[in-house]
Each structure stands twice: as C-alpha cells, then as structure tokens.
Structure 1
Amino acid sequence: MAAGLLATPAAAASGSTTQAGKVASSSSATPRPAVSVSKTKASPSSSDECPTRVTFSSRIKVKAYGGKTTVAYRWLRGNGSKSAVKTFVVKGKGVKYVTAKESSTFKGGDTKGWQALQVLAPRKVTSAKGYFKVSCGDDEWDGDKEVVNTGTVGAQAWVDERNCEATLIGRITTSGTRWVRYQWVVNGRVVDRDAVRVYGSRKVYHVIRPHESLRGWAALQILSPGDASSNRAYFKIWCRDSSPKVSASVDAPSNYEGDCPVTRTFTGTISASHGRGEVKYRWIRDGVAGGWQSVYFDGRGYGHQSRSVSDSWSASASGTSRRSIEIYGGPTSGTVEGKVTCKAAPPASKAWIQTETISVNQTGTCPTSSVSGTGSVYATGPIKVTVTWHVNDKKVASEELVFTSAGTKSVSFNSTSDGKAGTARFGIDGGGSDTVSYKALDCAEATDKAADKTGA
C-alpha cells in the first residue's frame, strides 16, 4: 500500500496516423525479427537429496534486421504461477543467441512439476516444458519426513501450495493413544491452536489464505504432552491479483431541530481488504473537494481492516449539507445528507413604566418638608433594569429590578424638600421616563396655625 493504495500506472497506449488519402506501403516496412526457443532443461531433473537447487534454462534465438531489438520473456510454472517479465536488447542484424535461466531451491517434501520459457516480444512463442522431480525421505509420507521427537510424541509438516492459498499438513505420532495439544506457527507467529486425540498417528491441517502473494515457513509444534516441533516447511504462495481493495462509506448525523448555531458531525469508514500502508483520502463537502488526509493500515492478520474518520459541519442557519469520501486513485463513496432546522429565537423581553401608577406628594411644615412618591414598572419576561427617581433634576433614588418572568414591580422614594413646588421624574435607564409635578406647601397658613397654638 502506498498513498492512494489502489492507484496503478496508466496502461500504455500506442497508435499511428497517416495523412488523408495515403496508405503506408507494407513492402517498405521493416519485417519483425524471427524468434524461436529451445526446450526448457531442468538440471538436475531428478534428485533424492534435500535441499536441492534446480536450474531451468532455455536458449532464445533471434534473427534481427538491424537497429535495436528488445526481447521480453517470462517463466511459466506447473503450479500456475508466472515469473515477472524480463527484457534484454540485441543490437545489429543477424542471428543472436541468449540463454535465459531461473533457479529454485526445494528444501523438503516430494515435489514434481515443470517450467517453460515464454517469449512475449517481438513475437510470442513458448518452449517445450522441462520436467523435474525432487524426492526427499520415505515415500510412505507426502513431504519432508524429518520427525522431531520429545518423549513419545513427534511432529512433521509439509505444504500443499495452490493459487493464493496453501494447506499446511502435519502428522502427529504417538506411542499409544492420547490427547495432544498442538499449534501452527507461520513465519514465527502462532496462527492456530487445537487439541486432537491421536491413535498412534494422525494428520492435522491449517489453510493459509493471505489474499496476497506470500512466502515463508511453517512448523507444527507440540504443546503437550512433552514439547516437540516439526521441521520447517517452506512455502511460496502466488496470487493472481494481490492488490488490496480499498473502499469508503459515510454516515450522516441525524436531522436536527433546535437552537442555532450548532455543530453536526459526519462519520466515515475507510476499509482495506488486506495489506499495510498509507491510504490517502479527502472529504467532498457539498461538491467541493477538501485537502488530502491519510490513514494507516498495519496489515496485522490476513483479512479486512477499517479506520474511522469524521468531518464537522457548523450550521448557523437552517439548511442541508452533503458529504462523501474520495480515495486517492480509487473509488468515491456514496453521498449522504444532513439537515438542520433552526428554531426562531424568542423575542427579547421589554420593560416600561406604568404611568398611571406614578404618584408624588409633598408633606410637612415650613421650612422643613419632604417629597415622596411611588411608581410601577411592568416587564414582558425575564429582564434586568435599573430605575431612578429625580427631584428637580437631582437623583434621589436608584434601584436594580430583576424580573424572572412577566410581571410588575413597584419602586418608592422619599426626599427632603424646601416646601416649594417642583417636579419628580421616574425613569428606566436607557428605557424612557415620566415626569409629574407636585404643589408647594402654604407656608403662611402653616405659620398662623402654629401661632394660634402658641397664643392659646
């Protein structure tokens, strides 16, 4: 896996054009080189020793007509696999010979098969097959017969390789009848554990399906009774299509109705069939592509892996938003939609003075008297206001009123006076005011009444 795990090079394309009305003459074209190959030879073709290195060879004959001639070839194998394509270049004209070789080492078991050389360019031609056979150990067993014993329990292993899978075959031997606990180890990692009842000898199996080409070794280990391990059985699994499959999906948040602004979150899942490495992706938001981001797969195990990602949407008004995920060099997920409905904000609470409740009165004797008054404020809902009383433009009282709901609150004041007429103003800071007048005291009348009381 690399950035854009599914991205592969674009297929090469070729073509030619000619001027209208003109046809290229075949007689003037340079003929393609002639190619032939000899029968593939396996050396040694038969062996009873292990390990054995078998070399396959075939001679390629090219009849060139000048310039440079590129020859491309590959090896075909009896198990269905093919080698990578290799090339070489011959220069000039005339007959040229090149011998192609490939070697394989067989470390255990009974193996037989064939290989052939296939030339792909400049002409396609395949050699006759070269057959081989490697036999190691007692023919009673299928594979490497090395048995490791600890006490009375033994184990051995070999591999049956197929297209993109391999069957691990083990044989457990005991002296008598008993239960045996065992495990399979592949490339140093335990992949399976089990227990079986063995009557002298019994085969056990484990299938490797890695989804991608894999090579390494396997061993059968006895856990109890005793402690034993088989030989290492080497394998090479070839898969026709080993590239991981990457996909993405997106889930939308549930529809929302309530106060705004609000943040909603889209969640995505990026999945890989197998393998490890970095995968690049980006969010498509309402049709607009965002920046590339990355997730990493560690490749643990043989199967499916997934990673979760998320993307936020901040909505300050009613509306919808759409999301999808694009994989770099790969597919784009389906598009999902989230919806937000913003509730209208309640009207702001207000407060005002109830004019009809304002009353002001001056009382007392001359020259000492007082002015007092009361007034009410009404509010439509929760609100906090400051109210003041002014007498003859001089502040004489101030109070903060806190309303938790709709209702009325009264405010009173009392202030000294000189007995003269004047005005009193009741107001809400920043919210208006009302002014009322009050009368002067009759100081002469008040003085006569005081004198009459003294003369009496």
Structure 2
Amino acid sequence: MLATMAAGLLATPAAAATGSAQAGKTASSAKPAVFAGTPKVSFSGEKGECPVRVTFSSKIKVKAVKGKTVVAYRWLHGDGSKSKVKTFTVGKGVKSVTVKESTTFKGDVKGWQALQVLSPRKATSKKAYFKVSCEGEKPEVVEPEKRHWHVDADAWVDEGRCEATLIGRISVSSPRWVHYRWVVNGHVVERDSVKVYDSRKVYHKIRPHKSLRGWAVLEIVGPRHAESNRVGFKIWCKDWSPKVSASVSAPADYTGACPVERNFSGTLSVSHGRGKVTYRWIRNGVAGDWETTYVHGSRVVFDPWKATESGTATRAIELYRGPTTGTVTGKVTCAAPVTVSYSNLTAKVEANCATKTVTVSGSVLVTATGPTTVKFTPRAGGKSLGERTVELTAGNLSKTVDFSGSVEGIDLTKAGSISVTVEGQSYSVQYGVLCPAPAPQEEKKDGDV
C-alpha cells in the first residue's frame, strides 16, 4: 500500500495534466445542483368568508454547469395528490426561479403543501402547513404538529420451554418508519425497523439454554430517541432429559496359554425412563467409532481384546457430548502350553466263572507340566473301559488314576493275553486258564434205565 501511495505522489507533470483533463470532463458531465425552498403561504379573501384562495410560492435554485438546463417540478398536496409536471429552462450558472400554485378552498381545511423538483436532479422541499376556516376565523399558516413518541415493553416468560418472550409496544402520532433495538442486561441483542401507523407490538425471544435472570429495555433509535421502562425477567430452565453415566471394568489378570480373548465391560446408565445413549470405546488411547444403543435403567456392553502375547491393554468409554470414564487396564501373561504324560501303567485280569465275564483293572500315573484338567480313556483289547477325569493343581501335578471295566469275548478256558492302552502307553496282561472247561456228558446205552 505504501508503494502505491508513493507512486501517486511522484506522478509526472504529464500524468497530472491528464488527471486535470479527466477531472474537467467529470465536472462537465456532473448533474446540476438543485435546491427547493420551503413554500410560503398567502391568503386572499375576507375573514371568515369562503371560498378562500391560497397561494403557495417557492424558490428553486439551480447551479447549472452547462447552458440551457431544463428544470421539471410539481406540487405535492397533503391529501396525497400531485399537480401536473411543469418545466422551465435556465442557462449556465446559479439561477433562482420562483414558482407558484394557487388553490381555492370552499370549506374548512387543514393541510400542507410541498414542492418537488424532478429534474435535472430530484429534490423535495419541507412542508408548508396551513389552516382555512369558514366560521369567522382568519386563514393562517400553522406549525406542523409535533410528533408524539411513546414506547413501552413487557416480558412474558414460558418456563416450560426455557425461554422468555419480550413484548414491546411502539406508539406514534403519525405513520412512520421506526428503527428500534432490544437491550438485554446491557447488551444489544436485536436491531430492526418497522412501519408504525399508530401503535405496533414488537417481540424478541430469549433462549438461554440455561437459567437466566436480568432486565430488558426497548429503545427507539430513529428518527427520534425514546426508551421503555426497564422490565425484569427470570427464566428457569429444567432439563427433563435423562442423565447419562458410564463406567468401565477390566477383566481379571490372566496367566496361561495364548492366544486368548479377554472382554472389557462397560455399564451405561440413564437416570430415568428410556434414553438413547451414544458412546465410543477409547482403546489404548485411540478413540473408536461412535455407537448408539437404547438404555432403560442400565445396560452392559462389551469390548473384546484378543491377546497373542504377554502385555496390557487399556479401555475407557466416552459419552457423546459428555464426560469420559476413568481408564482401566487388563493384563495377560502368556505361559508355555501345558503338556501331559502317562507312565507306570499296570493292569490285571479277573474272571467270574459263574457269569463267564472278565474284568480288567489297572492304574496309570498322569503327570502335567502345569495346572490342568486331564481327560483320558483306558482301553482293553481295543474296547473302552470308560473315560476318566483328573484335576492336576500347582501343588500336585502328578496323580495315579485307577480304572476298571468288563470285557467280553474272551475264552476263559484257554490261556492268552490282552493289551491295555492309555493315550499311547500299552501294557500286555498274560493270563492262563481262567475257568475249567465243562465235563463232557456220557452217551446213554441201549437198555440203560
């Protein structure tokens, strides 16, 4: 900006001459200045006698910048009518021309008249007020009525909707555009303009979204200044919407095989009724997507954590346009997988010759590298002897487990063997004749009784 200003100040004479020529051209093309004087009023006729002839005269001054300027004008009447447009011509320079209009009134009248110049530039004079009476009074020029301004304000508060409506009334003696503003607690909160013919109400709503008290004034700022009385108000806002709260809990610390899935839990609560709750999980400090659910009383939500190695994870819950819960931490310690081994397998065979059944019984030592629950199924001759379960704890990682079961299909009258297996361990039971063979029956001879 400084460079531009300097360039203007250092203009060459030629440039200055060009500027002067341009200025002269602008001046020659400018419209003439025009002034319309306030009309003077004169009367002809006897006192109290009608008709009365009233003459209005006014001076039109024109400053013409070129020769032969045509001036057009007309008279404006208090009843809203206008005279015909008349013209006259003036030469270059300042010229003053008096124009007149006469009107005959046959009865009482009270009004005004003004002069309006239409060209070469529009201008309107002030109004000349007059009064004519046909009942013994002398016609006279009267002063314009002083305009009456009055303004008042009141306030109406609707607590249920948490708002206040300010109601103001503007009163004037004649139609007029009125510029006004509302002032609340010393601050201008609204400006506007209205056309007031006699009296008109204006309004302003206060929506504070929270309880508020104070005062308000309605001010007229134009064309004249006035202001209402100061009105006080008090707005009490009660929030009927349910209050929403949240809490979050971490799973218990875990030590064991990995990967493992752990669940964080959160509780969403509303103070009353059924409310829509929008929330999101904060996972290890990173906000997730917003989620929405409907809650009546309280509701538990979950967020899974799949741990593939030892470590910790944090969670918190943030409520939409609300607070964030405290952060909780979950911990996982990944241990080596627990292995199980079987040893010291023994077994024996017992027969019941009366029922011709065989019972295989035995035991096996089960050992684990860590606390665990072991399930296994002993078999004899490939047939199940029933599933067994053993609980191994940190203080007792080895236990001897007994088992037994019946086996069918064994010839009790012959020696043999049977294989007993437990999870890859095998034990062969050798046995002799378990039951004697039945004695053969003698054949009957002819003649035997």
Q: Pick the TM interval, shorter chain.
A: 0.3 to 0.5
State the structure with more CA Rg: 2
Greater relative contact order structure (CA < 8 Å, 6+ sep): 1
TM-score, normalised by the number of residues in structure 2: 0.37
